Structure 1
Amino acid sequence: MRDLIVFAALQYNDPDPYIWMPIYLYSSFLCYKASQKHFYRQGYIIGLVVYGLYAAYLFFDKTGVLDWVREHNSESMVQTMKATKPWIEESREFFGLVILMVIIAINWLYMKRVRQKDDA
């Protein structure tokens, strides 16, 4: 949870912080609420759908992940933290969204386990 807040803060120098700061903060909020055993099923669904749609866009965009793989031979994404090539920036953003979707999915599974335990 704290890591996601730090990631959100680090987005201030990103070309599009107005997109990425809320994305990380939303995931952080869901993790925080899960740590208090408050779960928002609809919040998880919204997060997964929005992140999934944005990830699909980044995957198929003309300078997205497919372009990175096909046209640039999966060039290293970690050469430098300053992404001067759009296919590197969009590929990093795609994988960031995938990580956030995994985090939300883990929270959702945790929620189901806690609720099943409470019902028993």
Structure 2
Amino acid sequence: MAIKKKFYPLWYGVGIVIFMLYAGYKVFDNNGLIDWLQRHHAESLVETMKAEKPWIEETREFFGLLICVAVLAINWVYGERVKAKFN
């Protein structure tokens, strides 16, 4: 869609909201971010690529969702600038 200069800001907003809601779920999940911080004392998430402990995988997913939100937000801002330039 970017090649065709098509821009749908509503879908960026929808994506951000969905990813943020799911990230919020990952914060409070039994093996989520809070569990990792409190019960496991923020032990390393990057010792191995094999997630042998469930809180490692859940916490990695949380941070991955934050990256997705950041990328969508950057694309949204860039899209708005491009749209303004061509109008």
Q: What TM-score do you get using the length of structure 1 for normalisation?
A: 0.68
Larger radius of gyration: 2
Q: Distance in 1 between matches of 2:83 and 2:35?
A: 43
Which residue, 20, 28, 42 being the options, matches 1:60? 28
Kindly report structure 1 stretches of 4+ aligned residues shifted beyond 4 Å: none
* CA contact 1:65–1:91 (8 Å) conserved in 2: yes
Q: In structure 1, what is the equivalent of residue 85 of structure 2?
A: 117
How far apart are 1:116 and its partner, in Å? 1.6
- Going by fraction, where is helix more abundant, 1 or 2? 1
Q: Which runs of 5+ in 2 are unaligned?
A: none
2:10 paired with 1:42: yes
Q: In structure 2, what is the equivalent of residue 72 of structure 1?
A: 40
Paired AA for residue 36 in structure 2:
W
Q: In structure 2, what is the equivalent of residue 108 of structure 1?
A: 76
Aligned length: 87
Q: Distance in 1 between matches of 2:27 and 2:3?
A: 32
Q: Which runs of 5+ in 1 are unaligned?
A: 1-32
Q: What TM-score do you get using the length of structure 2 for normalisation?
A: 0.92
Q: Identity over aligned residues, as a percent?
A: 52
The two structures, once aligned, show a CA RMSD in angstroms of: 1.2
Higher relative contact order by CA 8 Å / sep ≥ 6: 1 or 2?
2
Deviations 1:68-99 (A, max 9, x none): 01111111001111111111100000000000
Q: Distance in 2 between matches of 1:35 and 1:72?
A: 46
